């Protein structure tokens, strides 16, 4: 499921609102370990463009 979420995020990364919506939806499907992996991947891939969104969405996730 993690790879599917990554694929979706890559496809919607052109739009800020879609990106945030899909990132939030990922929390419904992924377990804690996968969410930590997704968090790191998002920072690696999108921190230059969507840092604020990533920080806000993952703020409640504890390492």
Asked if 5 contacts 30 with a C-beta cutoff of 8 angstroms, the reply is: yes
39-63 per-position pLDDT tens digit: 999 999 999 999 999 999 999 776 5
Contacting residues for 61 by C-beta, under 8 A, at least 6 apart: 35, 36, 39
What is the residue whose two structure tokens read 């969104």? 53
5-18 per-position pLDDT tens digit: 999 999 999 999 99
Residue 1, pLDDT above cutoff 70 = yes
pTM: 0.90
């Amino acid at each position: 499921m993690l790879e599917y979420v990554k694929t979706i995020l890559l496809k919607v990364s052109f739009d800020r609102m879609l990106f945030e919506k899909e990132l939030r939806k990922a929390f419904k499907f992924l377990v804690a370990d996968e969410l930590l992996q997704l968090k790191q991947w998002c920072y690696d891939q999108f921190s230059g463009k969507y840092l604020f969104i990533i920080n806000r969405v993952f703020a409640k996730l504890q390492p």
